[in-house]
Structure 1
Amino acid sequence: MLDGLKLFLTILEKGSLSAAGRELGLSPASVSERLAALEAHYGVTLLTRTTRSLSLTEEGRTLADGARRLLAESEELESRIRLGVEKLSGPVRLSAPVDLGHHRIVPLIDRFLAAHPAVSVDLDLTDGFVDLVSQGIDFAVRYGALPDSGLKARPLGENRRVVCASPAYVAAHGAPAHPDDLPTHDCIVMRFGLHTDRVWTFQVNGQPRAVTVRGRRVANNGDLVRQWCLAGHGLCRKSVWDVQEDLDAGRLVEVLPDFAGERSALQIVYAGTRVQPRRVRALMDLMASELSGDMGASAPKQPAQG
Structure 2
Amino acid sequence: MLLDNLALFLRIVEKGGMAAAGRELGLSPATVSERLAALEAYYGTRLLTRTTRAISVTEEGRLLVDGARRLLAEAGELESRVRLGAETISGPIRLSAPEDLGRWRIVPLVDDFLAAHKDVTIDLNLTDGYVDLVGQGIDLAVRHGTLADSSLRSKPMGENRRLVCAAPAYLHAHGAPQHPDELAMHDCIVMRFGQNIDREWPFRVDGQPYAVSVGGRRIANDGGLVRQWCKQGFGIARKSERDVEEDLASGALVEILRDYSAGGTGLQIVYPQGNIQPRRVRLLIDHLASAFG
Gaps of 5+ in 2: none
Match of 1:144 in 2: 145
Conservation of the 8 A alpha-carbon contact between 1:201 and 1:262: no
CA displacement, residues 207-248 of structure 1 (integer Å, 9 cap, x when unaligned): 111111111111111001111111111100000010111111
Q: What are the residue-to-residue correspondences of 1:34-49 with 2, within 5 Å?
A: 34-49=35-50
Aligned residues: 292
C-alpha distance in 2 between matches for 1:191 and 1:160 = 19
* Structure-1 separation of matches of 2:134 and 2:55: 16
Cα deviation, residue 274, structure 1:
5.8
Rounded Cα–Cα distance in structure 2 between residues aligned with 1:120 and 1:135: 17
3-state secondary structure, aligned to 2:133: coil
Compare 43-52 and 23-32 and name the one that shifted more. 43-52
Helix, strand or coil at the partner of 1:276 = coil
**Matched residues in 2 for 1:199 and 1:52: separation?**
38
* Other-structure match for 1:201: 202
Give the Cα separation in 2 of the matches to 1:132 and 1:236: 28
In structure 1, the partner of 2:15 is 14
Backbone CA RMSD of aligned residues: 1.0
Q: Mind listing any 5+ residue stretches in structure 1 that lack a counterpart? A: 293-306
SS where residue 238 of structure 1 aligns?
A: strand
Secondary structure of the structure 2 residue equivalent to 1:134: helix
- SS of the equivalent of 2:178 reads coil
Range with greater deviation from structure 2 (95-104 or 267-276): 267-276
Kept in 1: contact 2:18–2:29 (CA 8 A): yes
* TM value normalised by structure 2: 0.98
1:122 aligns with 2:96: no
Letter in 2 for 1:106: V
Asked whether the 8 Å contact 1:68–1:274 carries over to 2, the reply is no
Contact preservation (8 Å) 1:132, 1:270: yes
Q: Which residue of 1 aligns with 2:247?
A: 246
Percent identity for Structure 1 against Structure 2: 66
The answer to whether the aligner puts 1:281 opposite 2:286 as a matched pair is no
Question: What residue number does 2:24 align with?
Answer: 23
Describe how 1:257-268 pairs up with structure 2 within 5 A. Answer: 257-268=258-269
Q: Secondary structure at the match of 1:258?
A: helix
Task: Supply the distance in 1 between the matched residues of 2:290 and 2:193 (Cα, whole angstroms).
Answer: 27
Shift of 1:7: 0.4
Q: In the alignment, which residue of structure 2 is the partner of 1:217?
A: 218
1:288 aligned counterpart, secondary structure: helix
4+ runs deviating over 4 angstroms: none
Separation in structure 2 between the aligned mates of residue 51 and residue 271 of structure 1, nearest angstrom: 31
Q: Distance in 1 between matches of 2:232 and 2:49?
A: 49
With normalisation by structure 1, the TM-score equals: 0.93
Cα distance in 1, alignment partners of residues 168 and 108 from structure 2: 29
Shift of 1:62: 0.6
Deviates more, 1:240-249 or 1:269-278: 269-278
Check the 8 A contact 1:96/1:124 in 2, yes or no.
Answer: yes
